[in-house]
Amino acid sequence: MSELKKIREAQHLTQEELAEKSGLSVRTIQRIEAGTQPKGYTLKTLANSLNIAEKDLLTSAIPEEEKNDELFSWQAKEESANYAAVKIINLSSLPLAWLPVANFLLPLLLMYCIKDKSMLAKQIISLQIFLSVIFPVIFMAVVFMKLGHASVTLAIVLLTFANIYIILRNAYEIDRKRKLFYKLNFSLL
């Protein structure tokens, strides 16, 4: 309920009576009671007509109680994430860790099969998609430098081990702290 409506009803006024008393239209009163914040002339006129301070008519967009409820429900949703499923989704990247362009396919398929669309699962898949773009770029840079077959082989091995390390380290952190050690600051899903 808007502050204006509370005050108007406390003073036993109808919308029409307040409109007549303030010189504003009934439609303006209705808009403010529906959630539009009064400003400038309208705010001053209403405050003077109701003999109250202007700040008494102003409310935040979401009442504090609702903000707390939303925060609590978001935290509960994150706390109720199925960490075993998230860990499985993370570890499912291991079989294809050597093939960066496909290492996100199995986790993505599992996420939809398990129906675990938590932020952790999305972040794991986003990281693997990011790596599937970056690793081939690094590999091609090594190839184009023409450093020889040994350097190309070494690049493949190092990139594969880097991906395996990222996957295992994230699995360890999911078990220990229920969060990811390696993650992006954005989500690709």
* Dist. CA 101–CA 130, nearest whole Å: 10
21 in helix, strand or coil? Answer: helix
User: Average pLDDT for residues 133-156, to the nearest whole number?
Assistant: 89
pLDDT, tens only, 149-166: 888 899 889 989 999 999
What would the pLDDT profile of 66-109 be if each residue is shown by its tens digit?
Answer: 444 444 444 444 444 678 888 888 888 888 888 877 888 888 88
CA distance 39 to 56: 13
Max CA-CA distance within the chain? Answer: 89
- For 80, phi and psi rounded to 5 degrees? -90, 10
Distance, in Å, from the CA atom of 103 to the CA atom of 129, rounded to the nearest integer, reads 8
* Residues with Cβ within 8 Å of residue 78, at least 6 apart in sequence: 118, 119
